[in-house]
Each structure stands twice: as structure tokens, then as C-alpha cells.
Amino acid sequence: MSLADDLRDLEVSMLSTAARYSKADLERLLTEDFAEFGGSGVVYDRAALIDVLMAEGAQIASPIAVSDLVVKPIGTEAALITYRTIRDGQVRLRSSLWRREGREWRMMFHQATPAAS
């Protein structure tokens, strides 16, 4: 499996119910200095995002469809991933920055922007 395939799998796993609503998985996959610019305009740090997702996970989560995913390596220690998602009819343009920490890849930044109609 290539680096792009590994990162694609990690990114998509972050949208799956199993990882998205697992505190242990989120703590493992998000860097300590993680930040997110949410689609609502709210800025989250790692702890705040985990809290929001744990609260959301208590509800029935609808599936997230992914398309147009592209992995762009930035040297050997980082990569930018861009893609589109659709959830409950809402289209988002997403980008994530992943950083290698030791042997593991962890997400350090994520942004979700509502797509123009």
C-alpha cells in the first residue's frame, strides 16, 4: 500500500462512525496542537472537538459520503488532503493537514467549508 493509500484510509476513517465517535481513536489520531475551522465558523482545539463529537455520537449519526479525495505529500513528514463530503444534503469542501510523528500519521489541522450552490 502506498503512502497516499494509507493517508486516504486514515482520513476516511475519521469520518466513519467507529473512529469519529471513539474518544480513544480521536486522541490517537489528532495531534496535541490540533485545530479545526468548522463548517459553522467555529474554531475547535483538540479537546473541544473531541467533546463535540462525543456529544454528537450520542445521537444517531447520519453517514458521510466522500468524493474527489486527493492526497498531496508535503515532503516526507506531512501531507495535505482535500475532498468533498455530503451529509444530510449539505456539501462541504474539506482539507486536512497530516503530520508524521514517529511512525504514526496524525491529523494536525482540518477545515470544513460549505460549498457554494
Sketch the domain layout of the chain as residue ranges: 3-114
pLDDT in tens, 24-51: 999 999 999 999 999 889 999 999 999 9
Could you read off the pLDDT of 2-26 as tens digits, one per residue? 888 999 999 999 888 788 889 999 9
- Please write the tens of the pLDDT for every residue from 78-106: 999 999 999 889 999 999 999 999 999 99
Ordered DSSP codes for 33-99: EEEEE-TTS-EEEHHHHHHHHHHHHTSPPPP-EEEEEEEEEETTTEEEEEEEEEETTEEEEEEEEEE
Residue % of the chain over a pLDDT of 90: 73
Rounded to an integer, the average pLDDT of 64-87 is 95
Q: What's the CATH code, domain 3-114?
A: 3.10.450.50
